[in-house]
Amino acid sequence: MYLRKGLHPFWLLALVVALLVSTIYPLQQTQAYEASSTSKTDPWTQKSVLHYLLFTKDTNVEQAVAQMKKELALTDSEMNQLAQIAADEFIYLRELKKESDQFVLDEKLSKEEKIQKIKETGYTRKHDQALTNTDQKVRQVLKGRYSKFRQYIKAWWAKESTMRITEFKTEAAANNIRVFATQYNPNQAGALEVALPDKYLKFANLGWQTSPPYNNPPYTVDITRISTGKSITDVHVDEVGPWNQDDNYWDPDSERRIYSKLCCTSQKLDLGVPESYAAYYSNYNNGKDQFDRNVANPAGIDLTPEVAKRLGLASLQNDWVTITTDDLDPSGNGTITGTVHTDNGLPVNVRSGPGTSYSIVGKKYDGDVVTIECQIRGETVTGKYGTSDLWDRIGTGQYISDTYVYTGSDGQVAPTCSP
């Protein structure tokens, strides 16, 4: 849904079937996603899902938990036991990742050396053993209801992963990206900071490296919790994570570094989709981060407990947030431009909205450079660069089809326009 190329007809049919059988979660139109999606498989032995299910403060997830409790006739005591099991697993996997981060953050090591060092620690074996331990503990709590629990998890995951794959960014306003937020313990207790998967933001903010293009610190984000509207502004990006260190997912393809770091895929992601998000929900890059670690959650940002507290989150709780991205531009200007290329040198109409039914408010000529404020889906048209429903807003009330604008990418390169 967020991968732009390579959707096989078989998987397109499978996706249509998933849309028809999903009666709880409405799906929205998005782009194609990788055929290795795990939405139809049982995630229980593959990835950490219990903590995601029990600690995510999201209406859909909380409804799923309530339904599970009802169907399995779980008592409050049993729910508390499951929550403790989930918390223990999360803390263990967080510490396991932190142990491997000593190699990830060692700039003297090459990428291959980092991966080898992590492999030597037994990361994958320990990760899998943690899931096995969780499974055994859950069996002890549920006893005769364990089989029904597994069936519920499989059915829930099919709907949950499909929904998350298709909904990405549909609630985001211009200059905001919707991401999943988890929590980490900072080096300094009480620190008001966040982690994003771009090491150069951290290096610049801490004064370790301020060479171009990351020479305009401090780099900060504004964060708004979607479910409550609570927000916090100007939070410094002083740590790197949650998973990758070269995934500047808020930048266009031409500037995004993650693609050269992955082991198992060459497919591109839409603007604003963290690699970890795709790995967790649809098995992108075989479910691994750039260091070949199993991605245990879809987080695109990590919050310190103090930031989480100000957003109304309790210990270890997760939620969806929107983060600003305009302050993360390395040069500090945040400007996205494109060059108009037309058929036979004829001018292209600028419309008052994203479609040919809107009134003509101007014209652009071959070679004109335009500033793209944001982009929006509208009428599908065919132009110089193929067929697309993507339209570029180049000014207030001024839209031009992206099929006539060269941006260096065949997908979205600017934030989604507000409705």
Q: Can you spell out the DSSP letters for 232-289?
A: EEEEEEEEE-SS-SB--TTS-GGG--GGGG-SS----B-TT--HHHHHHHH-GGGGB-
Q: What is the pLDDT of residue 175?
A: 56
Statement to judge: residues 161 and 28 lie in one domain: yes
Statement to judge: residues 65 and 157 lie in one domain: yes
**What is the C-alpha separation between 317 and 227, in angstroms, rounded?**
13
Residue 123 and residue 100 in contact, taking contact as beta carbons nearer than 8 Å = yes
Q: What is the pLDDT of residue 212?
A: 61
Q: Is residue 184 part of a domain?
A: yes
Q: What is the pLDDT of residue 232?
A: 94
Q: What is the pLDDT of residue 62?
A: 96
Residue type for position 380:
T
CATH of the domain at 353: 2.30.30.40
- Segments in the chain below pLDDT 50: 1-39, 169-174
Place of tokens 């782009």: 31
Q: What is the pLDDT of residue 14?
A: 44
The domain boundary residue, chosen from 136, 167, 198: 167
Give residues with Cβ within 8 angstroms of 210, minimum separation 6: 203, 204, 217
Place of tokens 């002083």: 238
Q: What is the pLDDT of residue 310?
A: 96
Statement to judge: residues 319 and 351 lie in one domain: no
The domain boundary residue, chosen from 328, 354, 380: 328
Secondary structure in 3-state letters for 85-140: HHHHHHHHHHHHHHHHHHHHCCCCCCHHHHHHHHHHCCHHHHHHHHHHHHHHHHHH
Q: What is the pLDDT of residue 250?
A: 87
**What is the C-alpha separation between 384 and 392, in angstroms, rounded?**
15
The domain boundary residue, chosen from 328, 355, 376: 328
Give residues with Cβ within 8 angstroms of 189, minimum separation 6: none
Q: Is residue 161 part of a domain?
A: yes
Structural domain span for residue 289: 176-328
CA distances from 213 to 203, 217, 345 (A): 12, 11, 35
Q: Is residue 414 part of a domain?
A: no
**What is the C-alpha separation between 90 and 101, in angstroms, rounded?**
16
**What is the C-alpha separation between 135 and 107, in angstroms, rounded?**
37
Give residues with Cβ within 8 angstroms of 108, minimum separation 6: none
Give the SS3 label for residue 328: helix
Statement to judge: residues 286 and 152 lie in one domain: no
Task: Give the count of domains, the chain.
Answer: 3
Torsion of CA 200, 415, 171, 193, to 10 degrees: 20
Q: Which phi-psi region, left, alpha or beta, contains residue 252 (left: φ > 0; alpha: ψ -120 to 50)? A: beta
Place of tokens 């494109």: 338
Give the phi and the psi of residue 275 in degrees, each rounded to 5: -60, -40
Q: Is residue 260 part of a domain?
A: yes
Q: How far is C-alpha 236 from the geometric centre of its chain's CA atoms? A: 20
Q: Which phi-psi region, left, alpha or beta, contains residue 287 (left: φ > 0; alpha: ψ -120 to 50)? A: left
CA distances from 310 to 106, 130, 235, 304 (A): 32, 31, 12, 10
Q: Is residue 411 part of a domain?
A: no
pTM: 0.70
Tell me the pairing of strands 176-183 and 301-303: parallel
Statement to judge: residues 302 and 191 lie in one domain: yes
Q: Is residue 365 part of a domain?
A: yes
Q: Is residue 273 part of a domain?
A: yes
Q: What is the pLDDT of residue 325?
A: 76
